[in-house]
A and B are shown apart, each in its own frame.
Chain A
Amino acid sequence: MTAPVTSTVIRFRVNGHDREMLVPVRLTVAELLRDRLGLTGTKVSCEMQVCGACTVVVDGDPVSSCAALACDLDGTEVLTVEGLAQGRDLHPVQEAFMEANALQCGFCTPGFIMMAVALLDAHPDAGAEDVREWMDGNLCRCTGYAPIETAVTLAASRLTAATAEDGQ
C-alpha cells in the first residue's frame, strides 16, 4: 500500500506565474494564497462554501478556496483577483463593479468579481437568469445585491459586444 504523506510538492500557475512549493496536506488554498503567497485579496468568511468571499478560479472553474486543499492545485492554473488587471488596465468586470457602485465594505467584492469572471469566461452569452443563478451563490451584506446584478449584466453586455466586434 502507498504510505500517506503529510506534505507534498505541487507545481501550478498562479496569476500567470509558475510556482513549485512544498505544502502540508492540511493547508487550504485560501491559506496558501493569503499566508504563503501574500495574495490577501482573496477573503475568507463563512468557511462553509456558502458566501463565496473566497472564490478563486481554478482551470476556469470557480472554487471555494477556503474548502479546497492546496495539494489539489498540482498541475492547475489559478486566477485570483490580483491577476485580473493587465498592468494598469482593469478587467471589464472590475470596471463594471466600479461604475455600478456595486460595492460598499468591499469584503465580498473579490469573490463576486471572480465568480462573474468564471461565469463570463465559460458563458460569454450569459443571460439574466444565468447571472442570477451563478451570483446567487455569493453573499453580500451591504449592497442589497441590485448594483452587483447590474454590474455583472453590464460586464456581460460589454464582453458580448467586444466578442461580436472581434468576430467581424
Chain B
Amino acid sequence: MTAVPRSDAWEKVTGRARYAVDMALPNMAHAAVVRSERAHARIAGIDRAEAEAAPGVIAVVTADDLGDLGRRFGHIVPDHAVLADGKVRYYGEPVAVVVAETPHQAADAADLVWVDYDDLPALTDSATALASDTLIHEQSYAEPGQEFLGVAPTPSADNVAHRGELAWGDAEAALAEAAAVVETTARFPLVYGYAMETYNALADWQPGSLHVVSTAQHPLMVRKELARMFSLPLAAVRVEVPYIGGGYGSKSYTKLEPLAAAASWASGRPVRVTTDVEAAMYTTRADGAVVTVRTAFDAGARICARDIDIRFDTGAYADNSPLVLTKSINRSFGPYRIPNLRVRGVAAYTNTAPASSYRGFGAPQGALAGELNMDMAADRLGIDPVELRRRNLLAPGDTIIDGKRPLDADLAADIDAIVNALDQHAADRDAAVQASGDQHAAVHAGTLRGRAVAVTASDAGASPISTAQVRMHADGSVTLLVSSTEMGQGSRTALAQIAARELGVDLDAVAVGQSDTRFTPFEWTTGASRTTTVVGLAVQAACADLWDNLRAKAAESAGVPVDDVIVHGGRLHLAAETLAPAEVIRQWFGADAGEVVGVGVIRRDGATEMLPPFWEIGAVGVEVSVNEATGEVSVEHLVTVGDVGHAVNPDLVKGQDLGAATQGLGIALWEEMVYDGEQLTNPNLIEYRVPRLRDTPRRVTSVLAERGDGAGPYGAKGAGEGALNPVPAAVAAAVGRAVGVWPTELPLTPPRVWSLLQQAEQ
C-alpha cells in the first residue's frame, strides 16, 4: 500500500501526545516504593511509625495490609508477590509503598521506613541457583489444569521456573555417526529494554470498581489479573493505556498495576506509582542465557542433527519466561532441514531482577549460539558460510516443526538480497580505495574487517484472538475501535489504512480509538509482531460486517431483498439508485443522524486456524570493522530484509526493521546488566550503554520482500522483532571473522574485543 505519514505525528512533535505518566486524576496522591536492599532475605520486621508520622503521609502499605486482596499475580505461574510477603527474592523488590499528598512527601517518608532482614544465600546466577539447596521459592504454584497458551507451569523445585523439550528423530545416534560435529557455547547477557517511558501506573479504586491508567502493552491481560486480585467482575475493571513511550515487549503483562491498585485501595485515593530507570531495570529485564549447540554434518555438509541446551537466568519471578523459554526452544535451531533434533531448556530462578518478554522473545538467545555455530561449522568444513546455509535452508512450504504452519517465506531469496547488498558495498569500498590510493589505505591501517549473514524464523506467538469494531457515522466517516496499544510501532496508522481501504473512504475520515477496556473491544495482546496481521484481519472482518449491515439497511429502506443490493467501489448499488454508505445511514434513520456498526472477530479458524499465524523471518547481513588498537567495533554496513509478505505502510516497516536491528546492535556491542554480588553495578544509562546516534551503521540497506505469502491482510505478515533476532549472532560472527577468534559472549565491548585480539595473537 502506501507510506502515508503517521497519524500521531502532529501530537508527538507538539508535545500534545498523552502518555500514562502525563495523566492525572482529581485528588490524586503519590506513591514512593520502598525497595529491598537485599537479594535474598527473610523480612524480620518493618518499622514504619516514623514514616506514618511524616508530613503529608496518607498510608504506608506492606504485604500485611493487603487484607482480602490477592497477594500474588502472574499469568503463567502466580508466583509474583505484589509486595514482598515474608521474604525478598531480589535487590530492588518492592517491600512497602508510601502514599502521600506530594511526590516529595512520599519520597521523604519512604526513607523513614526501616526494614530488618535475616539474610539468606543470594543465588545470582543460573548455574549456582540450579546447583543450590537453597530454594528461592519454597512452594510450588502449579495447579492441575493450569495452562497458558499450552504452557503449564513446571512445579517449582530446585529453583526451576520452567523446563521444556522439543525432539524428533534420534539426535544422539546421528551425532555419534556424523562426519563432523561442531560445538558452540555462547552466553547472552542480561539486558534491559529501556523503553524511555519507564513503568508507571495510576490507579483509582472505588467500591466495586477499579480504574487503572498504565504503560501496559496488554491492557486486557492486566484487567484479568486485577479482577482476580480484587475479586471484581472483568467489567468493573477499566484499564486505559494512552500512548506508550516504548514497549519492545518489556511492558508485556502485569508490572506496577497491582502495586498502584493496592495503594489506592489502602489509601482511598487515586494513586500514581512511577519508576526511575534503576527501579525499571529491577522491574523487568530479558532472560539471560547460556546456550550450547552441537551440530552434526554429513560429508556433504548437510545437517544430520542438532542438539541444543538452553539455560535461562529468569530472575526471582517467572513472569512470562516459561513462554519465552518455550519459544526460545522453537527458535533456536533455525530454518534448516534437521532430520534429528533435540532441544532441552531450563529456566532457573535466581535472586536477580525478574525476566520476561523482550523483543525477539527467546529467538536472539537461541540464534546467537545457533547461527554462530553455522559460521564456525562453515570454517571447519571449509565452505562459505552462506553456501552452508543455502545447502541446508528450508524451502517455502516445508515443515519447520511438525503440526505447525509450513514455512511461509522464501529464505533463499532473502539471503540472495543480503549477499547482493553486501557485495555492492564491498565493490563501492574497493572503488573508493582505488580512487584515493595510499591515502585511504593509511586511514584504514590497523582496521580489521569481517562480514556475516544470519537468519532466523520465529513461530510468531500471535494468538489469533482479536476483535475490532468500526462505527460508520451519518457523514460516512468512521471510528475504528481496537484494544491494541500504540507504542510507536504505528498500529494506529496501519489499522486505519486497512479500514480506509476496506471501506473506500479517505484516511482522513477514519478516527481510531485504542486500548481502553471500558470502550474498546477485546484484544489478546500487542506483541509478537501480531497487530497488522491478526488485528488487521479483525479490522477487515469488521469492515465486511459493516458492509453487510449497510446492505441490509439499504434493502430495508428500499423494500427490496438484501441480495438485490450489491456493494462495489465503495457504494451500494440498487436497481433504482446507487447510494453512498452515508446516504444509506441517513435514509434508514430518517435524519442526518445515526450510525451503523460492524464487528470483526478473529479466532482459531479459517486463515488463522493453523498456528503460528505466520513465521516471522529475521534475515540480516553485517559488515564490521574492528580497530586493532582499541577493540572498537564499527558497523560499516547493515542489511535487513523485511520479509513481510505485504507492507501496508512501507515506511513503518522500514522504521521497525531499523529500530529492531539497532536494538540488536546494542545487545551485540554494548548492553549488559552487570551484577556484582547482590545488586547491579550499572543501574543507570551512564553505564548501561545503549546505541547512540554515532553508533549507527555507516550504511544501511533496508530491503522489503513483498511476496504476498502471509495470512494477514493482502498477504501481510508481521514485522518488528524479526530484524533484531539474527543481529547479535551476525555481529558476533562478523567480529569473529575479523579478529580470527570466535566470541563466546556478548556484548562485544572494546575491552572484550581487545581480549579476543590478544587471543588471536597467541
Contacts and interface: CB of A to CB of B under 8 A. Distances in A.
Contact, chains A and B (beta carbon distance below 8 A): yes
Interface of A: 24, 26, 31, 34-35, 39-48, 50-51, 53, 80-82, 84-85, 90, 94, 97-99, 101, 103-110, 113, 132, 135-136, 138-149
B149 interface: no
By Cβ-Cβ distance, the 4 closest A-B pairs, closest first, are A41-B15, A105-B488, A107-B245, A104-B488
Contacts of A31: 103
Contact of A148 (B6, B246, B693): B693
Given A98-B5, A101-B655, A143-B655, A108 B196 contact: yes
Contact of B662 (A106, A107, A145): A145
Contacts of B686: 48, 50
A42 B685 CA distance: 19
Nearest to B19: A107
Contacts of B691: 144-145
Contacts of B248: 141
A144 B658 contact: yes
A110 B692 CA distance: 17
**Chain A CB within 10 Å, residue with most, of B12, B244, B247:** B12
Given A50-B686, A80-B15, A107 B659 contact: no
Contacts of A90: 10, 13-14
A139 to B, nearest CB: 6
Contacts of B193: 141
Given A143-B655, A143-B658, A103 B6 contact: yes
B22 A40 contact: yes
A51 to B, nearest CB: 6
A105 B243 contact: yes
Nearest to B684: A48
Given A45-B197, A103-B12, A108-B196, 4 more contacts: A41-B16, A97-B9, A141-B193, A146-B696
Contacts of B244: 105
23 contacts: A26-B104, A39-B15, A41-B15, A43-B21, A44-B21, A48-B686, A50-B686, A81-B14, A94-B13, A98-B5, A101-B651, A103-B13, A104-B489, A105-B196, A107-B197, A109-B12, A136-B693, A141-B248, A142-B246, A142-B488, A142-B655, A144-B655, A144-B661
B690 A141 contact: yes
Interface in B135-189: none
B487 interface: yes
Contacts of A147: 655
Given A101-B5, A104-B489, A143-B655, A51 B13 contact: no
B600 to A, nearest CB: 26
Contacts of B6: 98, 101, 103
Contacts of A48: 277, 684-686
A94 B14 contact: yes
A39 to B, nearest CB: 7
Nearest to A133: B694
B198 interface: yes
B624 to A, nearest CB: 16
Contacts of A34: 22
B410 interface: no
B692 A139 contact: yes
Contact of A50 (B685, B694, B700): B685
Given A104-B488, A139-B692, A143-B655, A97 B196 contact: no
Interface string B656-684: 00110111000000000000000000001
B276 interface: yes
Q: DSSP class of B's interface residues: helix, strand, loop or mixed?
A: loop
Nearest to A40: B22
Contacts of B663: 141
Contacts of B9: 97-98, 101, 103
A51 B685 contact: yes
A97 B334 CA distance: 38
B425 to A, nearest CB: 16
A80 B73 CA distance: 41
B253 interface: no
Contacts of A103: 6, 9, 12-13, 488
B693 A110 contact: no
Contacts of B103: 31, 35
B490 interface: yes
Contacts of A99: 5
A69 to B, nearest CB: 14
Nearest to B104: A26
A8 B423 CA distance: 64
B662 A104 contact: no
Contacts of A40: 15, 18, 22
B91 interface: no
Contacts of A149: 693, 696
Nearest to A101: B651
A81 B196 CA distance: 18
Interface in B688-721: 690-694, 696, 700
Contact of B197 (A26, A43, A85): A43
B17 interface: yes
Nearest to A110: B15
Contacts of A43: 19, 21, 196-197, 245
Nearest to B14: A85
Nearest to A111: B196
A46 B684 contact: yes
A159 B282 CA distance: 44
The CB with the most chain A CB atoms within 10 A, among B15, B197, B490, is that of B15
Contacts of B487: 105
A4 B247 CA distance: 44
A110 B197 CA distance: 13
Nearest to B652: A101
A143 B15 contact: no
A26 B107 CA distance: 12
Interface in B6-50: 6, 8-19, 21-22
Given A85-B14, A98-B10, A143-B659, A105 B197 contact: yes
Given A48-B686, A98-B10, A145 B15 contact: no
